[in-house]
Amino acid sequence: MAGELLRRSACELRRLLAAGEISPPDLVEASAARIDEVEPHLNALPTRCIDRAREHAKKLGNARTLLGGIPTAVKDLSEVRGVRCTFGSAVYKNHVAARSDVMVERIESNGAIVMGKSNTPEFGAGASTFNDVFGVTRNPWDTARQVAGSSGGSCAAVAAGECWLATGSDLGGSLRTPAAFNAVVGLRPTPGRVPRDNNGGDVFNSLSVNGPIARNVADAALLLDAMTGAHPADPLAMAAPAESFLHALERETAPLGPAAFSADLGVTVTDAEVAAVCRRAALLLAEAGVAVEECCPDFTGAEECFQALRAKLFAAELGDVLKLHRQKLKPELVWNIEKGLALSAAEIVTAENRRARIARRMGKFFQGHDFLLCPAAIVAPFPAGARFVEEVNGVRFDNYVQWINITSVISLTGCPAISVPAGFSAAGLPIGLQIIAAPHQEAKLLRAAKEIEQRAGVAQKLPLLKVNVNH
């Protein structure tokens, strides 16, 4: 039975739970067995809370909730009451959360059962999932390869069938890049769509958001529904929409508007094989009657703008940690915090003005297009031992963030963006397509993603029952 359940989608399980054909404990035991099977090879969920999950499943019983009792992973940047939360840092290696993050409270109240905490780079800094507490997380498609980050553990856990759903967060691509590397769906919502805890730093930060990770688009819509809604702890959090995202996805049949594709957004270099796979996937929208042209907005100044605003955020949130624990932090993190602390007022003003210009250009672009499509990562999964991508097509990157320009520049715009599986490289490694829509247009975004998902046929090819051990 466990193997059969692993093959089911979260939406299918929700229907079976509602019909009483399966129970939350059935799912918890199936998830726990799969975790025991693959974790020695992946290290995606280094902190497990199986007994807590079993107790939660018993308490849920046959209660009618949105998720109904579906096992879920929580990224180790969000606290779960009574469970170890390290933030991927030796500074907090023994920290046990006294309370749950507001997002965790929200999804648990909606029937998510937390199976464990997924691995993440230190404080979520970087697009490669490794840290000094738990080590490297490996890709279920090829365990010699990286899962990207910073939601790498969550994406690997979902791809490998350890759980059906997972939470992630995204500052510069931390939902979208690992989703691409693991052939799952990762959605960065409009800022404010999902409430966040604001325990320090910039409470009005709109660069970093929380979002869902799932095996297919409908499951991602389901988890997004379970995450959304206003909360007094987050001044940016907005009310849930009148119609659920899943219902809108299942109901809507109106034609989709025109789309644009760019292999590089004019801000990066992209591996030729990745560009070709993503271009083919983007053109699948034409089968749905969508006009697709090759163009993109002007992102002039976006890289410098993002680097400055990211550094400012790191300084605000981790400046005190640097003062007290410099020797425990990885060098890339020290560099990023110090960069933020060294920014002048003039540099911050320049960055904010650049962001405003980019947002205006993006708004004008969406007056003539419904979607912008591009790769979700500029390379296929790279070796697990590498800290970040240093070179592509002969172009070297100066720092550990530069290789994710293709996602980070989108973060500046406030637009929702989703990564969906587009295909595979000749070596059998996953490649993801990024789809962007105008702010607050998650429902429309999910529809476009589902169209591509149905035509690409990748969602049915996840490595659920066999891990390719190759290291």
List pLDDT tens digits, range 65-83: 999 999 999 999 999 999 9
Q: If you average pLDDT over residues 50-76, what whole number do you get?
A: 95
pLDDT at 295: 97
pLDDT at 409: 98
- The yes-or-no verdict on residue 107 having pLDDT over 90 is yes
Report whether the peptide linkage leading into residue 244 is cis, meaning its omega lies within 30 degrees of zero: no
Q: For residue 423, report the phi and psi dihedrals to the nearest 5 degrees.
A: 160, -160
Residues serving a catalytic function are 75, 150, 174
Q: If you average pLDDT over residues 242-267, what whole number do you get?
A: 94
Query: Smallest Cα–Cα separation from 442: which of 154, 192, 167, 179?
Result: 192
DSSP string, 288-342: GT--EEE-----TTHHHHHHHHHHHHHHHHHHHHHHHHGGGS-HHHHHHHHHHHT
Cβ neighbours, 10 Å, residue 254 = 8
In contact, 162 and 119? CB cutoff 8 Å: no
Name the band, by pLDDT with cuts 50, 70 and 90, for residue 363.
Answer: very high
DSSP classification of residue 394: T
pLDDT at 99: 96
CA–CA dist 154, 165 (Å, integer):
8
- The yes-or-no verdict on residue 471 having pLDDT over 60 is no
Q: Which amino acid is at 199?
A: N
Which pair of tokens denotes residue 327? 């020797």
Q: Is 438 left (phi over 0), alpha (psi -120 to 50) or beta?
A: beta
Q: If you average pLDDT over residues 376-382, what whole number do you get?
A: 98
E strand or H helix that includes residue 418: strand 417-424
Report the range of poorest mean pLDDT among 2-16, 115-129, 308-322: 2-16
User: How much is the pTM?
Assistant: 0.97
* HEC secondary structure over 131-176: ECCCEECEECCEEEEECCCCCHHHHHHHHCCCCCEEEEEECCCCCH
Q: For 360-367, which contacts have Cβ atoms below 8 Å and span 24 or more sequence positions?
A: 361/297, 361/298, 361/299, 362/297, 362/413, 362/415, 362/438, 363/438, 364/297, 365/260, 365/296, 365/297, 366/437, 366/438
List Cα–Cα distances, 6 to 3, 28, 205, in angstroms.
5, 11, 37
CA–CA dist 372, 209 (Å, integer):
20
Identify the structural domains of the chain with CATH numbers, from first to last.
2-294+360-461 (3.90.1300.10)
CA–CA dist 337, 349 (Å, integer):
18
Length of the chain: 471
Which pair of tokens denotes residue 407? 């996602």
